[in-house]
Amino acid sequence: MNEDKTPIIIGSDHAAYQMKEKIKAYIIKIGVDIEDVGAYSEDSVDYPDFGIKVASSVSKGKFKRGILLCGTGIGMSMVANKFPHVRAALCNDLFSAGMSRRHNNSNILVIGGRVIGETLAMEILKTWLETPFDGGRHQLRIEKFDNL
Ligand code: RB5
């Protein structure tokens, strides 16, 4: 069990707005501060605008971890992983969520709001929040690409 209480920055587009609200409520409930950069409704928006806000904050170290959601999770992953020090992991299953923390020290969780249901999304979120990084050889591997 990982008791990390560092604040989280979250963003989504319209396609995953409802899922973002559910995730946000859970994070507030467990006593972790969260900054929501939008979207704030289901009106159509452009996912890069929100991906850039979250990923640039994590890249600069303003936030240690973030969460991004869009319809598939693919667009948000593409945007986020352009930023140095961002290790955004698109996880639509539990195994990937755990491994993205253990082996990749993922600092942004990405979920596809139109790919999976809310129940699974919440389980993925909990796994991601609670799984620590293994370090060791995995740290050396991350150092090979983290600052490209
Ligand atoms: C929006 O229609 C959709 O393109 C977006 O949510 C996302 O899936 C992009 O990758």
- Spell out the alpha helix ranges (H) of the chain: 17-29, 47-60, 74-80, 94-102, 118-130, 137-143
Q: Is residue 2's pLDDT more than 70?
A: no
Among 63, 94, 95, which residue's Cα sits nearest to residue 80? 63
Average predicted confidence (pLDDT) for the chain: 97
> Is the Cβ atom of 74 under 6 angstroms away from ligand 1?
yes
Distance CA 128, CA 80 (A): 17
Q: Is residue 145's pLDDT more than 80?
A: yes
Confidence (pLDDT) at 148: 85
pLDDT digits (tens, 9 = 90+) for 24-68: 999 999 999 999 999 999 999 999 999 999 999 999 999 999 999
Residue whose Cα lies nearest atom 9 of ligand 1: it is 75
Catalytic residues: 70, 103
With bands split at pLDDT 50, 70 and 90, how would you rate the model's confidence at 1? low
Residue whose Cα lies nearest atom 10 of ligand 1: it is 75
Q: So where are the chain's domains?
A: 8-146
Q: Which CATH class is domain 8-146?
A: alpha beta
Question: How far, in Å, from the CA of 1 to the mean position of ligand 1?
Answer: 33
Tell me what the mean pLDDT of segment 113-132 comes to.
98
